[in-house]
Amino acid sequence: MTQLDTNLDDATQVMQSNMQLIGRDEINDMEAIFSLVGAVDEKGSHAVVDNCPALFTWDYEKGFRPALDKLYEKAKRSQWNGSTDLDWSTPVDQEKLAHQAYVDGSRGPLAAASLDGTALASWGEKEWVTLNMEYQNWMLSQFMHGEQGALLCTAKIVETVPWIDAKYYAATQVMDEARHVEVFSRYLDSKLSGHYQMNGHLGLLLDDIVADSRWDMTYLGMQIMVEGLALAAFGFMHATTQEPLLKQLLRYVMADEARHVAFGVLSLQELYGQLSHAEIRERQEFAFEAALRMRDRMQGQEVWDRLGVSRHDAAQVTLLDPDRVVFQAALFSKIVPNCKKLGLLDAGDGWLRTKFTEMGVIAFEDWEDTTLDADANAEGSPVGRE
């Protein structure tokens, strides 16, 4: 029994265009991508109607879905305390670290870009160090906002998923996500130099995920797409940061996130076997839309806007940076194998395979899927593990 919308059938399925799915024809139209800048919400809050039927189940048989039950037991043993398990007395000199990154030969997020013909061609040390600091403020702010999205989505999954093992597991994830919002927020407040509003592309995606009434769309949008990309992004930052508190914080968060993505894959595998071709196509289209929004969100539009760099210049330097192209593709190293494991890549006529090929990320299809991730399967608390 599912709460799915089944009013589509194969005969009436209409293939949606890029314009209908993402609001532009060309997926790499950089000026369009840079034109969406997240707005500061003067009200201090943002409401989304979640259209969600809260579902009681009368089947309380714990362990009917053994893989979910196992994950739930692991989650209970792996809780940590963001207040006491991290050493918040660690001094962090953000400017010094940003300057060091500059001295080490990296101008920052655009180390390899050609700057000819742009305002950035005349930048000196001061501007690049400022960019490094602002980019870090922005990135950590987006992590924090994304974590709040995960907090709301997981609470919604507790309400909507029909299986008791999934409700139990999702409840542990609600606690995990609260802790993640807490630690990113505290790091921003106490160690960095400013907050940013939610990125425009990320905001559109989170609104779409929260507003969808079908419980499996919350899973696909949040557990597979948003969290899959976050897990890869946290991994990059963990590998590159020299700052010990941030490194430890990310290590703990990643151990939780690996379980979260595994939860998504394990749950959807069972459901997708029961869906029609038309329903699967709709999920392929949602995965594509989410993938592009996740990719586009990483461009840091709000940083450029705050620094007064024109949309055209920002788009040009980003497009021409070969390191950035590699980094962007690598962010999909978790998402693509997970979509393959769910059968979304090749269902129907392989529509999503074609789209991921266009995006330049299909090469990750045979990387390890997240149900095998060492962190997802690790025993006990991450405290002390490194």
Q: How far is the CB of 181 from Fe ion (least distance, A)?
A: 8
For the segment 42-71, give every residue that binds Fe ion (CB under 5 A).
none
Q: Please give the Cα distance from 350 to 355 (Å, whole number).
A: 9
Does position 157 interact with Fe ion (CB under 5 A)? The reply is: no
Q: How far is the CB of 164 from Fe ion (least distance, A)?
A: 21
Q: How far is the CB of 177 from Fe ion (least distance, A)?
A: 5
| Interacting span for Fe ion (CB under 5 A) from 171-179, 182-190, 343-351, 378-386 | 171-179
Neighbours of 13 (CB within 10 A): 15
148 membership: H or E segment, kind and range: helix 125-160
| Interacting span for Fe ion (CB under 5 A) from 60-68, 149-157, 367-375, 378-386 | 149-157
* Residue number, 132 or 173, with CB nearest to Fe ion: 173
**AA identity, residue 273:** G
Q: Please give the Cα distance from 323 to 357 (Å, whole number).
A: 19
Q: Which of 75, 120, 147, 316 binds Fe ion (CB under 5 A)?
A: 147
Does position 150 interact with Fe ion (CB under 5 A)? The reply is: yes
Site residue total, Fe ion (CB under 5 A) = 7
* Local structure of residue 27 (DSSP, 8 states): T
* Residue number, 163 or 263, with CB nearest to Fe ion: 263
Q: How far is the CB of 155 from Fe ion (least distance, A)?
A: 12
Does position 334 interact with Fe ion (CB under 5 A)? The reply is: no
Q: How far is CA 201 from the centre of its chain?
A: 12
| Interacting span for Fe ion (CB under 5 A) from 1-9, 235-243, 250-258, 377-385 | 250-258
Rg of the chain over CA atoms, in angstroms?
21
Could you tell me if 328 and 298 are in contact, meaning their C-beta atoms sit under 8 angstroms apart?
A: yes
Q: Which of 65, 179, 180, 341 binds Fe ion (CB under 5 A)?
A: 180
Residue 206 class from Cβ within 10 Å (0-12 exposed, 13-18 middle, 19+ buried)? Answer: buried
Q: Which of 65, 74, 191, 260 binds Fe ion (CB under 5 A)?
A: 260
Q: Helix, strand or coil for residue 126?
A: helix
Helix axes 200-211, 277-297, angle to 10 degrees: 150
Interacting residue ranges for Fe ion, rule: CB under 5 A: 147, 150, 177, 180, 227, 257, 260
